[in-house]
Amino acid sequence: MMEPTRYSQPTVDFILRRRGRLHIYESLEAAKTALIVVDMQRAFVDEGAAIETAAARGIVPNINRLANALRAAGGTVVWIKSTYGPRPEDYWPTFFDHVMSTEAAERFRGALIDGCDSHGIYDPLEVDGDDPIISKNRFGAFIGSGGKLESLLQQRAIDTLLITGTVTNMCCETTAREAAMLSFKTIMVSDGNAGRTQEEHDATLSAFLMGMGDVHDTETIVSMLGSP
């Protein structure tokens, strides 16, 4: 579990100069809101997993709470899965051939091939049978799904996204930035994202709050939905 996000005073001062208040969105219309759960797969969340992000286990109760509250209020929950095979088109050469060593690439990709146990969503997460599940083959769930995520959201008249999952400063941040660029009102959930370090986690949320969208914690969002 990550610690509560801390914003530096210069960050707060900049935001207040820019818009006169720290946060952007103070209410939610559930029917137009989707919770996007990014990469909460066994490969990342299981203890001892090949590409484990240990802090991700700590955000599971918050994601479940948000998902249940949003469904009850008439909103949408979408699960995003990183998928890097077995289809040749799911192989990402820039990442696997250049960013990572051969050994690291084989370990990373091998854990996220469709059909592997580690590719599945972490067992304690409460996935409803009606929740859409979308695969992506890049960090961002919009470009990585070949437009499937955007199409789904448009079909459901969604205009607001709540971003949760792991890793905060990689797939979650990329997805959130894509969403903001596509004109979705986007909120990163501070205690619904998990990073590898607190410093990286806080830096991402600070930057997002400054220039892309909003950041709220689970308690605030549940209150905005009018749920217990």
pLDDT at 182 over 60: yes
Residues in CB range of 35: below 8 A, 6 or more apart: 63, 66, 67, 70, 75, 76, 77, 78, 161, 162, 164
Whose CA is closest to 134, among 4, 1, 11, 35?
Answer: 35
Within a domain: 85 = yes
Say how far apart CA 109 and CA 43 lie, in whole Å. 10
- Residue 41 gets which letter from DSSP? B
Q: What percent of the chain has pLDDT over 90?
A: 98
pLDDT (average), residues 2-27: 96
Given pLDDT bands bounded at 50, 70 and 90, which one contains residue 218?
Answer: very high
Single pTM value for the model: 0.98
Q: What percent of the chain has pLDDT over 70?
A: 99
In the chain, the number of structural domains is 1
Within a domain: 77 = yes
CATH of the domain at 90: 3.40.50.850
Within a domain: 182 = yes
User: What's the pLDDT tens digit per position in 127-138?
Assistant: 999 999 999 999
Say how far apart CA 77 and CA 95 lie, in whole Å. 29
Within a domain: 83 = yes
Within a domain: 3 = no
Range of the domain at 65: 9-225
Dihedral-angle region of residue 153 (phi above 0 means left; psi in -120 to 50 means alpha; beta otherwise): alpha
pLDDT at 228: 55
Within a domain: 207 = yes
Within a domain: 2 = no
User: What's the pLDDT tens digit per position in 162-176?
Assistant: 999 999 999 999 999
Residue 79 pairs in a beta bridge with: 37, 133
Within a domain: 4 = no
Residues in CB range of 70: below 8 A, 6 or more apart: 30, 33, 34, 35, 76, 77, 162, 225
User: What's the pLDDT tens digit per position in 77-107?
Assistant: 999 999 999 999 999 999 999 999 999 999 9
Say how far apart CA 159 and CA 156 lie, in whole Å. 9
